[in-house]
Chain A
C-alpha cells in the first residue's frame, strides 16, 4: 500500500510539474511565434513543420501540428513563405504515408520545389481549377466527402480579394462538418484570413527577409504566428 501511495504521489507530482510547465509556457508566450531561423542558424527548410522558440535566448525546437478533423488557415502576403510552409507540411504528411490532396485554384503548384522539400508526389492528388472559384469549392467538397485523405490543402492564393470576399460562410461550415468526424486536416491558404470562426487554427506567415548568397537567391526566412494559441499542439 505504501509503495502504491508513493507511486501515486510521484505521478501526481509529475503531472503537476508538467501542468506548471505548460502554464508557464503559455503565460510566457501568449502568441507563440514559429520561425524558420530557429533550427540551426540559417537553414530554413530543415525543420519539421515549424518550430517554437521556448525560453529567452535559448533555441529549443518544438514540433507543432495543426489539428486533425478541423480546418486550419495559413495566410500571408506575397513571398511570405506560406507555400514553403505548406510544402513542408505536405512532406511531413507524406512521410507518415498519408495521402494528400491539393486543390489548386490557379494551377500554380510547382512539383519540382515540392519534391525538393520532400513531398511524395505519388501520394499527392493535384487538382487544377484554372481560376474558377466555383470549381475549387466543388472539387474540395468531392475530395472531403470521399474521405481517406490525411491532408487536403485548399490553395486560394492570388485569387482577387473581391472574389474571396464573396465566398459564402456556409461553404466553410459545410467543410467543417465534412472533416469533423474524419482524421483529415483541411488547410486553407490564402493572402488574407477567410475562414473566420470555422477555422480551429490560424497561422499568419510573415517574411523576415530574403536570403541572398552573393548574387544568388537562397531562400526566405519567415515567421509563422499563431492567432489561436490554444489549438496549436506541441508534440515533442
Chain B
C-alpha cells in the first residue's frame, strides 16, 4: 500500500518530513507530491482508514493542508491525490473504477500532448473509456508510451518507489563505564566506532574526508581534534592510525568519560595514471607517513615551504605537503649560489677596523663585501632593518653576517 500527499502550496521539506515520520521509504515525486509506503503500518496503526486518519492528524498538527490518497498502486495514489480533495482510500482492484471518472488530459504529465489530442480526436474522453480499449491494438499504434498510459488508466502500473536516501549522520558515541587514562585501551574503544562508520561510508561508495574526534573528559571539558585529509580515506586502519598519531601529539589533559567520532564523507578519489608519468607516493600511505613524521618531529617541521611575497630574509611558511596540488613551473633565476641558514642565527664576535669586519669568531676575514643595508615592513608592526656583509674567512667558508643595533649575527653560509 502506498500513500500520496499532494499539497502544491506547502513546502516540500514539510511534506517530506511528514512522510518520513511514517515510513523510511519516501519518494520525492514532484514539487508538492510525495509518495510513501504504508505497507507495514497495519500492525502498528490499524486499518487503512486508521492509517489515513493518523496521517491526517499529523498533517493538521503541522498546519498543513493536503490531499491524501492511499492505494495499492503508487501512480493511482498520485492521480487520486491530485484530483480528489481530502482523503481518498482506494481498495485493491478498484483503482480503475475510482479513476474512471477522470478526463484523459489528467494524464498530460505522463504522456506527450500529441497522444492526448489523438485520444480526444478518437472520442476517448475519460480514463474509464481509455481503460476499456483493447491493449494489443493500442500498443500496436502507440508503442511503449501507449502501454504505460493504458496501465495508468487501469491503475496497474505497480512500479517500485524511487526511495530517497535518508540523510545519514556519520556519528557514533560511546560512554565509558570507567574513566580511561591510557591511550592504547582508548584505541580499542575508538576502533569499532571508526570501523562501523567506515563500513557505512563504503556501502554508499563514499570515503572519509574529515574526521572529528570528541573526548568528554573527567574535568567536564571536551577534547576535540579534527583531521582533514587532502585525499578522502576509505581504509579504517589508516584513519585509526592517523587518530592515534594525533592523540600521541595532542594528548587529553584528563581521564576520558566518553568518545564521539564524527566523519564527514567525500567522494573517493578516482585517478587514472599515465604510463609515462613518474611515480608519486600513494596518497593514503603518504598521509600516514606525514602523520608519523609530524608525531616524530613536531608540528611545523614537515611540509613544503612556500615563499612569502616580501624582501625580508628567510621569509617562508611551511604548508602541508600534497604532491597532488598542480605544479607551477619554475624557471631557474639568476642565482649562482646556494645558501644554508643557521636557524636561529647565532651571535658572532666580529672585530671591526675602519668600519669593515676584519675577523669573525677569531677567524680572519680575507674578503669582505658590504655593507648591504636592507630594511622593510616599516609600515607594519614588525619593521626590520639591518646591515649585511658577505665575508670569506680563513677557514675557506664564505659567510653572510649581519648587524642589528651593534650586535652581530652569523646568518649562514654560501655553499
Contact = CB atoms under 8 A, between A and B. Distances in A.
Contact of B297 (A124, A139, A149): A139
A84 interface: yes
Given A142-B289, A148-B282, A148-B286, A121 B338 contact: no
Contacts of B395: 78
- Majority SS of interface residues in chain A? mixed
A111 B305 contact: yes
A42 B282 CA distance: 42
Interface of A: 43-46, 77-84, 86-87, 91, 94, 96-99, 106-130, 135, 138-139, 142-143, 146-150, 157-158, 183, 207, 210-212, 215-220
A76 B304 CA distance: 27
Contacts of B342: 106, 108
B325 A122 contact: yes
12 contacts: A45-B335, A84-B336, A91-B332, A110-B412, A112-B316, A117-B338, A118-B333, A122-B304, A127-B301, A130-B297, A142-B292, A147-B281
A139 B343 contact: no
Interface of B: 277-282, 285-286, 289-290, 292-293, 296-297, 301-307, 314, 316, 318, 321, 323, 325, 327-343, 367, 369-370, 390, 392, 395-398, 412-415
A135 B292 CA distance: 12
A143 B286 CA distance: 9
B338 A107 contact: no
A84 to B, nearest CB: 4
Contacts, number: 195
A128, A143, A183, most chain B CB atoms within 10 A: A128
Given A142-B289, A147-B285, A112 B307 contact: yes
B288 to A, nearest CB: 8
B340 to A, nearest CB: 4
Given A97-B327, A107-B343, 16 more contacts: A46-B332, A78-B397, A81-B338, A84-B415, A109-B340, A116-B334, A117-B335, A118-B333, A122-B306, A123-B323, A128-B301, A142-B296, A148-B280, A183-B278, A211-B336, A219-B337
B398 A217 contact: yes
Nearest to B331: A118
Contacts of A78: 395-397, 413, 415
Contacts of A129: 297, 301
Nearest to B316: A111
A83 B415 CA distance: 5
A134 to B, nearest CB: 10
A130 B395 CA distance: 25
